C-alpha cells in the first residue's frame, strides 16, 4: 500500500511516517518544501505523480492565537489547502484522512461530544478546520475525518515538553484548572490511523487517548510520572488557576472531551487511557 503524508515534518506527521515504514508501507512524506498544499496545480502534480492508495493529511495552520489575526492564512492552509489535497486525492482514487480538532465544538457542554453532534467553533482556528472538514466531505468519496485533542509527541514543541522544562526552572507554575479534555500521544493516534487506512469504514471519528483531565491535573501527572521515570527534580510549585487569569486572543474550549462512538460502532479497538500514553512518551524520551 502506498501512502502519502502531508505535514510530514510535524509532530504527528513524523510519528506516522516512522510507523508506516515499520509496517512495510511504501511512504512518501511531504512537507512545505516538497508540496505546497495552497498551490492546487502543484498538489495535483505531486499526488498525481505518486498515485498513493491513501493520503494522510496532517498539514495545518495550528497557531491558534495567531490565526485570530492571520485569518486569510488560516483559511488558505486549513480550508483551501485541504480542498486542494481532497481534489488531488480524489483524482487518483486515494482514500483521504483529514486530521481535525476538538476546536470544531464550542466547548460549552458538559457531556462528551460525539461525532454527529452539531459543530460550533468559536475561534478562527476552529472555524477554518471545520471549513476543511466540509470541503473534504463534499469533494472526497473515500474520506476519514479524525478529530483529536491535546496532542503531544517526541517531535516539535508541546505542552508536556514545556512543563518538563519550566518545572525545573520556575519556582511557581499556574496552570488552568477549568478546561477539561483528553491528552493524546501522537504514537497512539498514529497507530489508529495506520489501522484505519486499511479499511473502507469511512466517516467521522473522534480519536484521543481515553479518560480526561484538566490542564492542571495533566501537569500534576507529568511531574509525578517524570520524577518516577526520568528521575527529574522539579523546583516549581503547581497552582491551579482560572482561564480568565491568562487571557489569550483565541477562546479555548472549556470542555472538549470527545466520545469515541465511531471507533466502537466500527469495531476498532479504542485508544488507551491518557496516563498510559504519557508514561510511554516519557520512556521514549528516556531512550533518546
232: pLDDT strictly greater than 80: yes
287: pLDDT strictly greater than 90: no
Task: Report the pLDDT value the prediction gives residue 288, as an integer from 0 to 100.
Answer: 77
- Confidence band for 201, pLDDT divided at 50, 70 and 90: very high
Average pLDDT over the chain, rounded to whole?
97
Task: Report the pLDDT value the prediction gives residue 75, as an integer from 0 to 100.
Answer: 98
Q: How far is CA 114 from CA 104, 107, 148, in A?
A: 12, 13, 12
What is the mean predicted confidence (pLDDT) over 141-154?
A: 98
Task: Report the pLDDT value the prediction gives residue 149, as an integer from 0 to 100.
Answer: 98
Task: Report the pLDDT value the prediction gives residue 69, as an integer from 0 to 100.
Answer: 97
**Is 125 annotated in the active site?**
yes
44: pLDDT strictly greater than 90: yes
Model-wide pTM > 0.85: yes
The active-site residue out of 98, 125, 152, 216 is 125
226: pLDDT strictly greater than 80: yes
Taking the C-alpha atoms of residue 161 and residue 148, their distance in angstroms, rounded to an integer, is: 19
Share of the chain above pLDDT 70, in %: 100
- Confidence band for 110, pLDDT divided at 50, 70 and 90: very high
250: pLDDT strictly greater than 80: yes
What is the mean predicted confidence (pLDDT) over 136-146?
A: 98
Taking the C-alpha atoms of residue 56 and residue 143, their distance in angstroms, rounded to an integer, is: 10
Task: Report the pLDDT value the prediction gives residue 78, as an integer from 0 to 100.
Answer: 98
Task: Report the pLDDT value the prediction gives residue 68, as an integer from 0 to 100.
Answer: 97
Single out the residue of 167, 172, 174 nearest to residue 216, CA to CA. 174
Task: Report the pLDDT value the prediction gives residue 193, as an integer from 0 to 100.
Answer: 98
3-state helix, strand, coil in the chain (%, to 5): 45, 20, 40
Query: 71: how many CB neighbours lie within 10 A of its CB?
Result: 12
What is the set of domains in the chain, with CATH numbers? 2-158+183-211+256-273 (3.40.50.720)
- 7-38 pLDDT, tens digit each: 999 999 999 999 999 999 999 999 999 999 99
The answer to whether the CB of 100 falls within 8 A of the CB of 121 is: no
Task: Report the pLDDT value the prediction gives residue 246, as an integer from 0 to 100.
Answer: 85
- Confidence band for 169, pLDDT divided at 50, 70 and 90: very high
Amino acid at each position: 500500500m502506498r501512502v502519502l503524508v502531508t505535514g510530514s515534518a510535524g509532530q504527528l506527521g513524523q510519528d506516522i511516517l516512522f510507523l508506516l515504514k515499520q509496517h512495510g508501507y511504501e511512504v512518501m512524506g511531504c512537507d512545505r518544501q516538497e508540496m505546497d498544499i495552497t498551490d492546487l496545480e502543484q498538489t495535483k502534480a505531486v499526488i498525481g505523480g505518486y498515485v498513493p492508495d491513501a493520503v494522510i493529511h496532517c498539514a495545518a495552520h495550528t497557531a491558534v492565537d495567531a490565526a485570530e489575526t492571520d485569518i486569510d492564512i488560516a483559511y488558505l492552509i486549513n480550508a483551501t489547502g485541504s480542498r486542494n489535497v481532497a481534489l488531488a486525492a480524489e483524482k487518483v482514487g486515494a482514500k483521504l484522512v483529514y486530521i481535525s480538532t476538538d476546536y470544531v465544538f464550542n466547548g460549552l457542554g458538559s457531556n462528551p461530544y460525539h461525532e454527529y453532534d452539531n459543530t460550533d467553533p468559536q475561534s478562527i482556528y476552529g472555524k477554518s478546520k471545520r471549513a476543511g472538514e466540509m470541503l473534504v466531505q463534499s469533494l472526497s468519496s473515500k474520506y476519514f475525518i479524525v478529530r483529536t485533542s491535546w496532542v503531544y509527541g517526541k517531535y516539535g514543541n508541546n505542552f508536556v515538553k514545556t512543563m518538563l522544562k519550566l518545572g525545573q526552572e520556575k519556582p511557581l507554575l499556574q496552570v488552568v484548572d477549568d478546561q477539561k479534555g483528553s491528552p493524546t500521544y501522537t504514537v497512539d493516534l498514529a497507530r489508529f490511523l495506520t489501522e484505519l487506512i486499511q479499511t473502507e469504514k469511512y466517516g467521522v471519528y473522534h480519536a484521543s487517548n481515553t479518560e480526561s483531565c484538566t490542564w492542571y491535573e495533566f501537569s500534576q501527572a507529568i511531574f509525578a510520572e517524570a520524577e518516577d521515570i526520568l528521575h527529574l527534580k522539579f523546583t516549581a510549585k503547581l497552582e491551579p488557576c482560572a482561564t480568565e487569569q491568562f487571557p489569550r486572543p483565541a477562546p479555548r474550549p472549556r470542555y472538549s472531551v470527545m466520545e469515541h462512538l465511531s471507533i466502537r460502532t466500527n469495531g476498532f479497538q479504542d485508544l488507551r487511557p491518557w496516563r498510559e500514553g504519557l508514561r510511554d512518551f516519557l520512556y521514549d524520551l528516556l531512550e533518546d
